[in-house]
Amino acid sequence: MELLVSSAIGILTAVGIYLMLRGRSFPIILGITFLSYAVNLFLFSMGRLTIDAPPIYQPGGTTYADPVPQALVLTAIVISFGMSALIVVMALRGYLETGSDHTRLSAMEDETGQSTSQADTPAAPRNGDRA
Amino acid sequence: MMLWLVPLLPMIGALLPPMLIRTGRSACANTAAFVSIVTLGLLLSRARDVFNSEVEIFTLPWVQQIGLNFSFRLDPLSLFFASMILIIGILVIIYARYYLNRTDPMGRFYAYLLLFQGAMLGVVLSDNLILLLIFWEMTSLTSFLLIGFWRKEKEARRGARMALVVTGGGGLALIGGLVLLGQIAGSYEISHILEQGDVIKASPYYVPALILILLGAFTKSAQFPFHFWLPHAMAAPTPVSAYLHSATMVKAGIFLMARLWPALAGTETWFLIVAPVGLITMAMAAWIAMFKDDLKGLLAFSTISHLGLVTMLLGFGTPMAAVVAVFHILNHATFKAALFMSAGIVDHEAGTRNMKRLGGLLWIMPITGTLSLIAAAAMAGVPFLNGFLSKEMMLEEAAHTVYPGLPWLFPVGVTLAALFSVAYSARFAIATFLGPKRDDYPSSKPHDPPIGMWLPVALLVAPVIAIGIMPQQVVGKTLALIAGAVIGGPLPDYYLALWHGLTPALFMSFIAFAGGALLYVYLPRLVGQLATVPRPDGRALFEATLDISVKTSRRIIGVLHAGSLTRYLRITFVAILLFGFYAIWTTPAYEGERPMLPVNASALVAWFTLVAISIMVVIRQSERLLALILTSAVGVVVALTFIQFSAPDLALTQISVDVVTTILMLLALNLLPKKTPDEDSLYARWRDGIVAVTAGFGVAALSYGIMTRNGPTDIAEYYIATAKPGGGGTNVVNVILVDFRGFDTFSEIIVLGIAAISIFALLDVKLKDAAVRRLRAMLPKEDASDAHPLLLVVATRVLLPLSMLVGVYLFLRGHNQPGGGFVAGLVIAIGLIMQYIASGYTWGAKRLHLDPQTAIGAGVAIAGVAGLVPLLFDDPFLTTTFTYVELPIVGEFELASAMIFDLGVALTVIGVMVLTLSRLARVEQRVDPAPDTRHAMDIPLEKAVPPAAELIATSTDGKD
């Protein structure tokens, strides 16, 4: 069972990182979700695996799952929602403002045909020509 | 006495002038002066004890781990400097009242000035090296503000920046030096360090510590080769120059050398470094001063020269030289502050500070002229004035100081410097005030200023004469006390007097006067030839260094900050991988001794599902909707895993959050491109794939290694054992959340609230131009024929009370059984969100009498108050109490104060979810505030307003 869980964590991590390394905002959001699953499971597994022994106190009970990682993961789940939501909204707003969901500045400029860094250089002829 | 109040009072008082400026300029200036006078009174109330040789020390432990204490020390030396800072400060405040223009923001000026004053007082009164450093840095910062006060002027900004870079850079060296010093002495308390002189000087770290400390002192006191910042700082308003450069800022370095004199001085290294630096500064600056046409420029270099003089004397390392140094600090402060103020008066009245355009001012400004002439004479060292006395004593000391290998260096050097100073003093006096009256001053009618402006000058000139005539009677005892505090031992045998007989010093003085007079006469002719003599110009070097560092930084940023998130992430992941691999490589074995659980069929099915989904997501990720749905399926598998391994709370939370997250992403995807273009090269995919798979293997190996070992269980056992008796609940996870680690949960809900409000801020802004165009393009071209399916509407409305009930149930039982505030909040929020989805935003918003922002605020507030109440009973923050209540039907149940806390959690969660999703659902409203009631298949439970009327009412605004 431990092997199954740890390999699942590994797979989720791999998918999460692979998606996060894509150059567009939506795959990155999905990647973050995958990585959150992986991290939550990983944290949870720090309490070792226990079957049929929830950490709910019973008189006379002897075996319980470790409640500490569970408490940590519970808040982590809720917080990762907050984080995902913020990133989703930032991606959305960024897309609406720039017209591109690229996360690489040069690719974004190529796509939208305008320099997003006018403040630094007075003119960027490379892109200005195209616009 | 509350000694600590002395530095703090001006800093607190700095708040007053900006507030009072509305009541008038005089009120503003008077308040600033009043603050300084009160501080001075506070200080002088202890002067008598200090005169009785009592050293007062105030200590309050602050951060003892690093040796930082809030400790102050009042002895003759600190009293002397503190009174000088305050007395000249008061005079400068009065003077500035008349000097500043109506257009100058006076409130800000006095605020900066008082802040600076407080910082300076802190430097001289600190008895702790680290505390001293803090104040030292504050003087650098506040002087930056003061020098750059006329922020519109380029010269002021440049001067301020240069002063900050040079003194701040010296401050960095000083940090190192003082830390070394504290480590050598075993304490950061100055009182202790002063007694450790022998230990310090014998330490192998003495030389590095000394060099670093001297770097700090030399930069601050504008010693060669760091002198160049001071003349550029003259771009400041004249009161600032008078204050910073006569009495305070530049004296800080001198003060530090005097303060640490018993601990550092007297060694050969000290003499070999400090004395020549002082001599070079003194001679070079006096030389440059002769060629300055600007009054303030001349005075600035003269100040550098006098600072060099004091540094040189301290560098001699003999007790007698230290006495002379102290005496000269006192004398210089009086005449130099007077001269700076006179220069300001001349500038103010005649409209220029250029000596080529001045002359004969004595005849039209008799008071200012007379006072300035006396002060200038003191600067030159004319007998019967205080400058003469300390200069004679200095010459005497220098006459028999021998520099190894160059026995003539000091006698000749100081004579030359004295000669130059006679010449520039003569130039200052004659070119400005004597000579024929002119009628082409830039300002038409110069005349003596109001008394407020010349009185401070007069008050400073008075001691110049008094000390000059009767030194022993006026300052004899004071000087002895201060010098005693510097030396920290018995005083040398000396007597202050005008006439010491025919000494070498008298002879040197005579040469200086004769030569100086001659030089002055021939100066105009020499200017052309001598000005070509190269002068050390630190400014060019400074600018070049600054230029190079800016360019280098740009280049580094250009390489590192490539504007590619993907690249940053890749670098981060690879770096983590390298560290992780090192760790795994060096671990002997990663399979532990703990027996594994047997695999069951359902687990296998779940595992295969997960693998299949993951592969699907990677292959089909360009179809975003599909990838999203597959991702949410993973959430279900994760929730099942939690159930399998005894974590019902987690499973509940995971499944509810999964619902909300999926809805959120669907809403976002609605406005984003639906496909990811197939643009990555095969190489990029393989590269990222290798990174990802390697990371996956690493994480899997790590968790496998941990899960197959038995870990410490004592924390878990403690929580399980204490949950019921201590927290009153049997659901240990919930008790941990609301009780044991309630502070964590409290911060979590605050973070959640901040995230939601940031989302609100990001989406509540009215979109403009291009963004509007893109949003329109993204919106579906045609409305769905049935936007609010009747079946869905009915189902969600039936579900609403049910979900509320389930939420309340989960909430109430949460302390003892799986449930609790987080889950309850999520379930209720989902119930509410379903209404928005099914019946439309407008319908939902109209009927939900709960403002989500209010819910977030109220939730955090309730949780906070629930945590604060125990404080009333002297219990720590977030302590819970509980009792058992008997209710009919329900039976006995327990009522814990933690429940109130949990209620706050639930409310915050509801607010966050509803706010986030509802805002995202109506982003298009930012463009077209069109009602979405058009297709609302509302069930007419009552006679509703006809939709058409609403349509007209709301669509009139903003629809184009």
- Stated as kind and residue range, the H or E segment containing B159 is helix B154-185
* A131 lies within 8 A of chain B by CB: no
Q: How far is A90 from chain B (nearest CA, A)?
A: 7
In this complex, do B711 and A27 lie within 8 Å of one another by their Cβ atoms?
no
CA–CA distance, B369 with B363 (Å, rounded to integer) = 8
Residue A17: closest C-alpha in chain B: B692
pLDDT at A44: 93
pLDDT at B705: 87
The distance from CA B12 to its chain's CA centroid, rounded to whole angstroms, is 18
Q: Which residue of B646, B706, B920 is in closest CB contact with A65?
A: B646
Q: Please determine, for residue B391, whether its predicted confidence score (pLDDT) is greater than 90.
A: no
Q: Residue B441: what residue type?
A: Y
Q: Bridge-partner residues for B675, per DSSP?
A: B623
Contact B94, B23 (CB under 8 A): no
* A9 lies within 8 A of chain B by CB: yes
Residue B806 Cα distances to B811, B812, B826, angstroms: 8, 10, 11
CA–CA distance, B634 with A3 (Å, rounded to integer) = 18
- SS3 of residue B369 by DSSP: helix
In this complex, do A23 and B707 lie within 8 Å of one another by their Cβ atoms?
no
Return phi, psi of residue B935, to 5°: -110, 10
pLDDT at A130: 37
Location of structure tokens 């905002």: A25
In this complex, do B775 and A96 lie within 8 Å of one another by their Cβ atoms?
yes
Percent of chain B topping pLDDT 90: 25
Contact B91, B9 (CB under 8 A): no
Average pLDDT, chain B: 84
Confidence grade of residue B528 (pLDDT, cut at 50, 70, 90): low
Contact B74, B155 (CB under 8 A): no
- SS3 of residue B945 by DSSP: coil
Q: What is the mean pLDDT of residues A92-114?
A: 78
CA–CA distance, B286 with B291 (Å, rounded to integer) = 9
Residue B663: closest C-alpha in chain A: A85
Q: Which residue of A30, A86, A104 is in closest CB contact with B627?
A: A30
Residue B720: closest C-alpha in chain A: A57
pLDDT at B587: 74
Residue A76: closest C-alpha in chain B: B748
Contact B408, B398 (CB under 8 A): no
Q: What is the mean pLDDT of residues B816-841?
A: 87
pLDDT at B242: 79
* A12 lies within 8 A of chain B by CB: yes
Residue A95: closest C-alpha in chain B: B672
The per-residue pLDDT for range B261-305, each reduced to its tens digit, is 888 888 888 898 899 999 999 998 898 888 888 888 888 889 889
Can you read off the two tokens belonging to residue A117? 């860094």
Q: Note which residues in 31-70 of chain A have CB less than 8 A from chain B.
A: 33-34, 37-38, 40-42, 44-58, 64-68, 70
Confidence grade of residue B960 (pLDDT, cut at 50, 70, 90): very low
Which residues in B lie closer than 8 A to residue A70 (C-beta atoms)? Answer: 647, 649-650, 733
* All residues at 6 or more sequence positions from B952 whose CB lies less than 8 Å from its CB, including other chains: none
CA–CA distance, B608 with B629 (Å, rounded to integer) = 17
Return phi, psi of residue A40, to 5°: -65, -45
pLDDT at A131: 33
**Interaxial angle between packed helices B154-185 and B538-560, expressed in degrees from 0 to 180 and rounded to the nearest 10:** 80
Q: Please determine, for residue B552, whether its predicted confidence score (pLDDT) is greater than 80.
A: yes
CA–CA distance, B281 with B223 (Å, rounded to integer) = 6
In this complex, do B617 and A19 lie within 8 Å of one another by their Cβ atoms?
yes
Q: Which residue of B680, B695, B732 is in closest CB contact with A55?
A: B732
In this complex, do B621 and A30 lie within 8 Å of one another by their Cβ atoms?
yes
Nearest-Å Rg of the Cα atoms of chain A is 22
Q: Which residue of A18, A33, A64 is in closest CB contact with B631?
A: A33
Confidence grade of residue B534 (pLDDT, cut at 50, 70, 90): low
Q: What is the mean pLDDT of residues B441-452?
A: 78
* A83 lies within 8 A of chain B by CB: yes
Q: How far is A104 from chain B (nearest CA, A)?
A: 4
Return phi, psi of residue A106, to 5°: -65, -40
The per-residue pLDDT for range B477-494, each reduced to its tens digit, is 888 888 888 888 788 877
Confidence grade of residue B247 (pLDDT, cut at 50, 70, 90): low
Q: Between A and B, how many CB-CB pairs are < 8 A?
A: 311
| Three-state DSSP string of B898-939 | HHHHHHHHHHHHHHHHHHHHHHHHCHHHHCCCCCCCCCCCCC
Q: How far is B720 from chain A (nearest CA, A)?
A: 7
Q: Bridge-partner residues for B895, per DSSP?
A: B883
Q: How far is B953 from chain A (nearest CA, A)?
A: 29
Q: Which residue of A30, A55, A81 is in closest CB contact with B733?
A: A55
Q: What is the mean pLDDT of residues B729-743?
A: 87
Q: Which residue of A17, A101, A104 is in closest CB contact with B692?
A: A17
Name the burial class of residue B712, with classes exposed (0-12), middle (13-18) and buried (19+) by CB atoms within 10 angstroms of its CB: exposed
Q: How far is B620 from chain A (nearest CA, A)?
A: 11
Return phi, psi of residue B556, to 5°: -65, -45
The per-residue pLDDT for range B93-128, each reduced to its tens digit, is 888 888 887 888 888 889 999 999 999 999 999 999
* ipTM of predicted assembly, 2 dp: 0.87
Confidence grade of residue A6 (pLDDT, cut at 50, 70, 90): very high
Name the burial class of residue B405, with classes exposed (0-12), middle (13-18) and buried (19+) by CB atoms within 10 angstroms of its CB: exposed
Confidence grade of residue B755 (pLDDT, cut at 50, 70, 90): very high
Percent of chain A topping pLDDT 70: 84
Can you read off the two tokens belonging to residue B211? 């060099």
Q: How far is B454 from chain A (nearest CA, A)?
A: 50
DSSP states along B328-357: HHHHHHHHHHHHHHHHHHHHHHHS--BGGG
CA–CA distance, B290 with B280 (Å, rounded to integer) = 16
Q: Please determine, for residue A128, whether its predicted confidence score (pLDDT) is greater than 60.
A: no
* All residues at 6 or more sequence positions from B661 whose CB lies less than 8 Å from its CB, including other chains: A33, A81, A84, A85, B632, B635
* Long-range interactions of B40-46: CB distance < 8 A, separation 24+: B40/B83, B40/B86, B40/B87, B40/B90, B42/B1, B42/B2, B42/B5, B42/B6, B42/B9, B43/B6, B43/B74, B43/B79, B43/B82, B43/B83, B43/B86, B44/B83, B45/B1, B46/B1, B46/B3, B46/B74, B46/B79
Can you read off the two tokens belonging to residue B523? 């100066």
Cis ω before B225 (30° cut-off from 0): yes
* All residues at 6 or more sequence positions from A40 whose CB lies less than 8 Å from its CB, including other chains: A73, A76, A77, A80, B638, B654
- By C-alpha distance, which of B330, B425, B343, B338 is closest to B379? B425
Q: Please determine, for residue B776, whether its predicted confidence score (pLDDT) is greater than 80.
A: no
Q: Residue B440: what residue type?
A: D
Residue B659: closest C-alpha in chain A: A81
Across A70-84, B440-454, B548-562, B876-890, least confident range: B876-890
Q: Please determine, for residue B540, whether its predicted confidence score (pLDDT) is greater than 90.
A: no
pLDDT at B537: 62
pLDDT at B532: 61
Mutate to test the interface with A, among B632, B649, B680 (most CBs of A within 10 A): B649
Give the predicted TM-score (pTM) of the model.
0.66
Return phi, psi of residue A102, to 5°: -70, 150
* A87 lies within 8 A of chain B by CB: no
Instruction: Identify the residue with better confidence: B447 or A83.
Output: A83
